[in-house]
A = this chain, B = another copy of it.
């Protein structure tokens, strides 16, 4: 965990930015909730517990900055808010989402199932893939059980 913070600090500094206490608190919240997909408001509330004086605008600015640096990924699941995920070390994003339309849960699959498709895309469409996003909407295993 400390190692990942150190790395992010270096990413920031290499671009002339500082890892301020506010930014560090924000990153720690993301780190401690890696499997969730927090909104800016979510992050704000959690950061407030550690650093009550922080402002919402700072959280937005931090998330935007980290997003520009590809440290976090900004996502949109269709409810009116942006959600943010820490990226893994290689700065690539290769997980897929299982979005339950019944209970709203968002699960993840961490494997990358799309490499064959990406190769096909480059060949057939001359489209050079940088990243992708794959979401499935459906009924999750928990709701499936309950329905019986």
A109 at the interface (CB under 8 A from B): yes
A131, closest chain B residue (CB)? B137
When distances are taken between beta carbons in the complex, the residues of chain B under 8 Å from A117 are 113
Cβ of A68 to closest chain B Cβ, rounded Å: 13
Report how many copies the assembly holds: 2
A19 at the interface (CB under 8 A from B): no
Q: Chain A residues in contact with chain B, CB under 8 A?
A: 74-78, 98, 101, 107, 109, 113-114, 117-118, 120-121, 125-141, 144
29 residue pairs of the A-B complex, CB under 8 angstroms, read: A74-B78, A75-B78, A76-B76, A98-B121, A98-B125, A107-B125, A107-B127, A109-B125, A113-B120, A121-B138, A125-B141, A126-B140, A126-B141, A126-B144, A127-B138, A127-B139, A127-B140, A128-B138, A128-B144, A129-B137, A129-B138, A130-B138, A132-B136, A133-B133, A133-B134, A133-B136, A133-B137, A134-B134, A134-B135
